Amino acid sequence: MSALLTIEDLRRRARRRVPKMFFDYADSGSWTESTYRANEEDFHKVKLRQRVLVDMTDRSLESTMIGETVSMPVALAPTGLTGMQHADGEILAAQAAEAFGVPFALSTMSICSIEDVAEATTKPFWFQLYVMRDRGFINDLIDRAKAAGCSALVLTADLQILGQRHKDLRNGLSAPPKFTPKHIWQMATRPQWCLGMLGTKRRTFRNIAGHVKGVTDLSSLSTWTAEQFDPRLSWADVEWIKERWGGKLIIKGILDVEDAKMAAATGADAIIVSNHGGRQLDGAPSSVSVLPEIVEAVGERIEVHLDGGIRSGQDVLKALCLGAKGVHIGRPFLYGLGAGGREGVRLALEIIRRELDVTLALCGKRDIAQAGPELLYAPNDPFGTGRR
């Protein structure tokens, strides 16, 4: 994998190795995908200040996220169907994250279960919670995360109703895939992927299947899942989740200052500024463009993280300079997973680490804790809006 030097390199290889329906699931947004594109494009508007003739030796990227020591302030974001990018994908990604010294968050809609990942790892991971109508199942899910030793609960707040993703509908996405001629052809032209899937028993949503009354097969699971995302979820529900969990709580999906203030008032440990990777409200602003105002409003009360659009170590540094305490990456590690399994995830993290390290040095700093607005040109107007 020596020729893979960038996240885009990993993306291209993953596209060749992963069946189209699953690659498109990871690599697309809702409706016109304008917000999905803006997440990445807006990082290009933020410019860094190059500094010279400063001591660049003995650099450190070590930091903390919600009190946990990390080798760099980057976490692997919770992503659904990760085990369909590569067989046992959640397990492999969690193992790579553990070896690298960064957090891994497991999605409710994962292919490998909480118990699968706990059995395959030695350090605590985070668990991401979607709140379903079946609150008994949610209580059990939280208890399972506690029993597995998860060190943080990530409550996703922006998926009460599913945004329409045209590619998923056109592709007939399902897990496991239906054996239509189109899907058979996609799988037949990805032999390594097929061999991996034949070698694992994990091919459906194992956090759900076998844990919900009446869900016994793929048909009943699909019906239950489609009906279960709860549009009634509100701020009033955060308290019972926080009490039931009893540990560190992160609220993901914050994109507005008023919502950030509401989240800070709950007593949560952190928020993640995120638009769900551009997969929910198309036309919403990019995550990074609203980060500064959210940090200004609540940054002294709650830890602020960012998710969306990170494609390089330079993007990580820009987010930190704009006030984020850490960032979460989804697509970059999924590209690595699709391109090369656990080693591909490790390589994605290494690419970002190397780019972050070099960029920090060229900005004249040796410790990631020194990342701040002084490393940016026009720090009061990083997106060139004319605002002062």
Task: List the catalytic residues.
Answer: 276
Question: How would you write the chain as a 3-class SS string?
Answer: CCCCCCHHHHHHHHHHHCCHHHHHHHCCCCCCCHHHHHHHHHHHCCCECCCCCCCCCCCECCEEECCEEECCCEEECCCCCHHHCCCCHHHHHHHHHHHHCCCEEECCCCCCCHHHHHHHCCCCCEEEECCECCHHHHHHHHHHHHHCCCCEEEEECCCCCCCCCHHHHHHCCCCCCCCCHHHHHHHHCCHHHHHHHHCCCCCCCCCCCCCCCCCCCHHHHHHHHHHHECCCCCHHHHHHHHHHHCCEEEEEEECCHHHHHHHHHCCCCEEEECCHHHCCCCCCCCHHHHHHHHHHHHCCCCEEEEECCCCCHHHHHHHHHCCCCEEEECHHHHHHHHHHHHHHHHHHHHHHHHHHHHHHHHCCCCEHHHCCHHHECCCCCCCCCCCC
